[in-house]
Amino acid sequence: MNIQASMSDIDLNQHLLKLEPNKRIEWALERYDQKLVLSTSFGVQSAVMLHMTTQVFPDIPVIFVDTGYLFEKTYQFAEKLTAQLKLNLKVFSSPMTAARQEALFGKRWTQSIGDLEQYNLQNKVEPMNRALSELEAEAWMSGLRRTQSSSRGKREFIERQKKTVKIYPILDWTDRDVYVYLNKFHLPYHPMWDEGYVSLGDWHSTSKLTAGMKAEDTRFKGMKRECGLHEISDNVDFQI
Give the separation between CA 26 and CA 54, rounded to whole angstroms. 11
Q: Which of 227, 228, 229, 230 is catalytic?
A: 227
61-65/36-40 β-pairing: parallel
- Give the DSSP H or E segment for 125: none
Residues with Cβ within 8 Å of 26's Cβ and at least 6 positions away in sequence, in order, are 56
- For residue 202, count other CB atoms closer than 10 A to its CB: 21
Catalytic site includes residue 226:
no
CB 81 within 8 A of CB 117: no
Give the separation between CA 36 and CA 167, rounded to whole angstroms. 10
Closest CA to 16 of 182, 141, 152: 141
CB 230 within 8 A of CB 1: no
Enzyme catalytic residues = 227
